[in-house]
């Protein structure tokens, strides 16, 4: 990719949000505010085998999240048949037909299989010891990942670009790409084209 994939800091992100309108360059910059790797959150070190299992599970989850958000940005009503009518009405009443938060709540509902709860990590992280906390950490991490994409990136771009779908999709793509390149640089290369990056991701 021909752009700087270095993540921006929390302070840079906060400073960007002080602006009420975004130009393309600001969308691009905001998109580089990414989650920390799940592996960095664990208290115990992963073995090589555990790293491979965890990486595969992380990519499986991210692929699912990326596909759901991409679909909902393009067509917010496409998956409405999967959503409880009462919950759907509540969302529309609260956020309106084109509410910037509507996509996030629809995505969260679909990802959590209609449990009306936060999204849990899909897959079992290898345990370390009898009282391993890795799965709980993974659940918290993936929920933060979904919120960052849905509320921290997509919502903020929509709000500041007059609901520009193309820029919201671009921001989503950049955010996920930057995360993948920074987290798994031996697999996702900075010189890869978007098509190559997401072709690799789609295999999980």
pLDDT means per 10 residues in the chain (204 residues)? 81 97 96 97 93 97 96 91 89 79 90 74 86 91 96 96 95 96 94 90 94
Q: How far is CA 203 from CA 31, 90, 194, in A?
A: 24, 36, 15
Report residue 8 as tokens: 């921006």
Q: How far is CA 182 from CA 10, 16, 138, 160, in A?
A: 16, 21, 19, 27
Residue 41 is given by DSSP the state G
Query: Is the pTM value of this prediction over 0.85?
Result: yes
């Amino acid at each position: 990719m021909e752009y700087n994939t270095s993540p921006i800091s929390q302070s840079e992100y906060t400073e960007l949000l002080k602006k009420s309108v975004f130009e393309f360059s600001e969308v691009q910059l905001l998109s580089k505010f990414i989650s920390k790797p799940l592996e960095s959150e664990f208290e115990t070190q992963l073995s090589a085998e555990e790293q491979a299992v965890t990486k595969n599970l992380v990519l499986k989850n991210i692929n699912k999240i990326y596909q759901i958000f991409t679909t909902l940005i393009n067509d917010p009503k496409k998956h409405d048949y999967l959503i409880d009518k009462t919950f759907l009405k509540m969302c529309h009443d609260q956020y309106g037909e084109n509410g910037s938060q509507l996509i996030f709540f629809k995505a969260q509902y679909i990802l959590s299989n209609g449990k009306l709860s936060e999204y849990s990590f899909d897959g079992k992280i290898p345990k370390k010891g009898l009282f391993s906390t890795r799965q709980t950490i993974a659940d918290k991490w993936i929920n933060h990942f979904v919120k960052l994409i849905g509320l921290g990136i997509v919502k903020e771009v929509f709000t500041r670009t007059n609901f520009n779908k193309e820029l919201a999709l671009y921001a989503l793509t950049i955010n996920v790409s930057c995360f993948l390149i920074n987290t798994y640089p031996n697999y996702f290369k900075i010189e890869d084209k978007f098509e190559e990056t997401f072709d690799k991701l789609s295999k999980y």
